[in-house]
Structure 1
Amino acid sequence: MNKKFAAAVSGGAVLMLVLSGCGGDDGNEKADAWAKNVCDKWQPELKKIETANADIKRVATETSKPDEVQKTDSAAFGTMSESYKAMGAAVQGAGVPPVKDGQATQEAAVKGFEATSKGYADLKAKMDALDPKDQTKFAEGLKEVAGGLQAATQGGKDALDKLKAGGLDKSMNSQKGCQVTAPSPTK
C-alpha cells in the first residue's frame, strides 16, 4: 500500500536490543544473572515483535487491499503493545539490577517500555478507526499512523538507553535472548 509506511515501520517497530556493538566479559556475575533473567523472558516477545513487523511489511505493498492492511497492521500493533508491556514486566520482575543507581535504572526502563506499549495501543486504535472503503482518507490515515511510529517507539529506546547507561549493556549483550538482528531498511 505505501512503501514509506513499510520503511517507517521496519525502522521503528523493532528496537535493536543489542545495546552496544560487542558482547562483554566483565566478570560481573550478579549483573549477568539479572540480564539472563530479563533476556530469557524477552526472547519470545522479540520474536513476536519481529513477526508483527514482517506482517506489516508484507501488506505494505501497492497490491494489498486497505481492509487487509488495516486488519494486519491493527493486529501487529496490538501484538507489539503486549510484547513491550511484557518486556517492561520482565525488567520489573527481575528485581533491581545490581548496578549503581539500579532502582532508578529499573524504574526508568519499565516506564519506557510501558510508554512504548501505550504508543502501540494508541496506533492500533487509530488504525482501527480508519475507513478502508475510502482509499483517499485511508491513505491519509496511514500517513498519520506512520508519523506516530517514532513517538510510539521512543519510550523503548529511552528504556534501552537507560539500561545501557546503567552499565548493563555488557551483561545483556552476552545473553542470547537479547540479541536480535536489525531488519535491513527498505527503500
Structure 2
Amino acid sequence: MTVSALGALLALAAVGCSADDSAKQLDGWAKNVCDASRDPIAQSRAALADTGNVKDGESPVDLQKRLSTDLAALATTNQQLADAVQKAGAPKIDDGAKVQQDAVNELKQVAQGYLDAQKKLDGLTNADQAKFADGLRSVGDQVQRLSQVSTGALATLQSGDLGDAIKRQPGCKAATAGAPPPTRRGRRVRRRVPGRERGAVRSPVRRHARPGGRIALRGQELTPRRPVRRCGGRAAPADGGECPGDEQPRS
C-alpha cells in the first residue's frame, strides 16, 4: 500500500469517527432536552386543549377563572421549555449557539405573553356582555399567536441532524403524539372552519363570543334568539308576508 493510499484511508477513518462523535453529541443533547421537556409539553397541550373545551351551563365567571388557570399553566410550561433548552447548552451544529438562544428567547417571550394575556383576561368585566365578548375575542387572538410562536420556536430545533437526533429520543416521540381533541359529554368535538388551514390552531375562546356582543355558552344563551318562521321546507318571506299558497282563492 502506498503512502498516499494509507493517508486516504486514515482520512476516511477520521471522518467516520468524527461523524460518529458528532451524532453521539447530538443524541446526548437531544436526550437532555427531550427528557426535561416531556412533562411541560404534555401539560401545555392539556392546558391549551382545555381552553377549547365547552362545558354545559358554565357561567362567564367560571369560564373566566378556568381560562385564567390555563393561561397561567401555559406561561409556566413555556418557561420550563426555555430553561430546558438553555440548560442543555449549544448543540454541535452550524450556528448552534444562535439556534439555541433564538429558541430560548422566543419561548421566554411566549411565557411572558401568556402572563400578559392572563392579566388581560382577569381584568375583563362580565357585567357588560358586549365588552366581555370583545375581550374574549382579543384574548383568543393573542393566545393563538402565542401558540404559533411557541410551536415555531420548537420547530427550529427539529431540522437537519439535530432534528434527526430529537426524533430518536423516546421523550420527544411521546411529546410529538397528537393531543386528543376537546370532548363534550364523552364525545370528540371536531369542527371544520371554512377557510381555516388544516392543523391551524383555533382561537380557544372565540366560540364563547358571538358577533354583536352576544355571549354564547353551551346550555346557556344570554341573549335570546329570534325564532325563524318557515314555509314548509323554505324560509318565510323576509318582509313578513304570507307564505306562498296561503292566499285565499278568489271567487
Identify whether the pair has TM-score above 0.5, normalized to the shorter chain.
yes
Instruction: Look up the equivalent residue of 2:163 and give its one-letter code.
Output: D
- Indicate the residue corresponding to 2:44 in structure 1: 49
Higher strand residue share: 2
Structure 1: gaps of 5 or more residues: 1-25
Structure 2: gaps of 5 or more residues: 1-18, 182-188, 192-251
Equivalent residues in 2 for 1:1-187, closer than 5 Å: 28-58=23-53, 60-61=54-55, 63-165=57-159, 167-178=161-172, 179-183=175-179, 184=181, 186-187=190-191
**C-alpha RMSD over aligned residues:** 2.1
Tell me by how many angstroms 1:61 deviates.
4.4
Instruction: Look up the equivalent residue of 1:163 and give its one-letter code.
Output: L
Give the TM-score normalised by the residue count of structure 2.
0.59
Partner Cα separation in structure 1 for residue 94 and residue 28 of structure 2: 16
* CA 1:102–1:49: 2 relative to 1, 3 Å: same
Query: Percentage identity across aligned positions?
Result: 31
Q: Which moved more, 1:127-136 or 1:89-98?
A: 127-136
Higher helix residue share: 1
- Indicate the residue corresponding to 1:11 in structure 2: none
CA deviations over 1:76-126 (Å, ceiling 9, x no partner): 111110110110110000011111111011011101111211221111111
Describe the SS at the equivalent of 2:52: helix
Aligned residues: 161
Larger Rg: 2
* CA 1:135–1:167: 2 relative to 1, 3 Å: farther
Instruction: Look up the equivalent residue of 1:115 and give its one-letter code.
Output: Q
- Indicate the residue corresponding to 1:4 in structure 2: none
Describe the SS at the equivalent of 2:156: helix
Q: Which moved more, 1:32-41 or 1:49-58?
A: 49-58
Describe the SS at the equivalent of 1:181: coil
Contact 1:115 1:155 (C-alpha < 8 Å) held by counterparts: no
Tell me by how many angstroms 1:165 deviates.
4.0
Give the TM-score normalised by the residue count of structure 1.
0.77
Partner Cα separation in structure 2 for residue 62 and residue 135 of structure 1: 19
